[in-house]
Amino acid sequence: MKKNNTYRLVVTALFIAIAIVLSVVTPFESLFVYGGGVTLFSQVPIIALSFIFGPAWGLVAGFIFSLFQLMFGLSNLAYAKTISAYLAIMFIDYILPFTMLGIAGIFKNSFKNRNLSMAFGATMVSLFRFLCHFLTGITVWKQYADGNTLKAILTYSFAYNVGYMVPETIITVIGILALNKLLFPRLNEDGTLK
């Protein structure tokens, strides 16, 4: 039992480190000046951990990853004019969406086809992440909305966040399917290598 926990800790630390490194590879960052961006597979390691070791383990890994994302995104707090906007950015834009990447494993047996289950899980947690960023966008940008209608704020937040979350989701699904083909067949039920 102790050996298995040590193995899980090492694999988790490695996957979190990979996710952090991948999260700074943002080829289209200049397109998203107010935060967000398309990364190269940064969500995949956290989602994979959830499929390998289960959603509880994935949530812990996601939470640790979220703290690093918050640290890297502290400059985005400059957009907040109110306490509620600060809190929204910290919790709804960073802690919650990146932590919840770790629940993808709940979809592990959603379909008979493992590819479909993994793609569905990756898509669902990416959708949840989009919703979090969308809500934060509404909270933050309504501060600057002098005379703009709620419809304009909703439209802006939706369009801005869809702009990077759709490509991010597609890249994530491709990455998790590649891992499913290359890594998952080599794993035992407990996540150890065969």
Give residue 47's pLDDT: 98
Q: φ, ψ for residue 172 (rounded to 5)? A: -65, -45
Quickly tell me which residue has 């109110």 as its tokens: 82
CB of 15 within 8 A of CB of 150? no
| Over residues 160-189, mean pLDDT | 93
Give the span between the Cα atoms of 137 and 85, in whole angstroms.
9
pLDDT in tens, 132-150: 999 999 988 887 776 678 8
Give residue 29's pLDDT: 66
pTM: 0.92
CB of 125 within 8 A of CB of 107? no
CB of 137 within 8 A of CB of 157? yes
Give residue 30's pLDDT: 61
Count the neighbouring beta carbons within 10 Å of the beta carbon of residue 3. 8
Nearest to 100 by CA among 128, 75, 67, 71: 128
pLDDT of residue 122 exceeding 80, the answer is yes
> Is residue 164 very low, low, confident or very high in pLDDT (cuts 50, 70, 90)?
very high
Give residue 148's pLDDT: 72
Instruction: Kindly report which listed range (117-131, 151-165, 168-182) carries the lowest average pLDDT score.
Output: 151-165
To the question of domain 2-25+33-186 being in CATH 1.10.1760.20, the answer is yes
Structural domain boundaries of the chain?
A: 2-25+33-186
> Is residue 35 very low, low, confident or very high in pLDDT (cuts 50, 70, 90)?
confident
Mean pLDDT of the chain: 91
CB of 15 within 8 A of CB of 49? yes
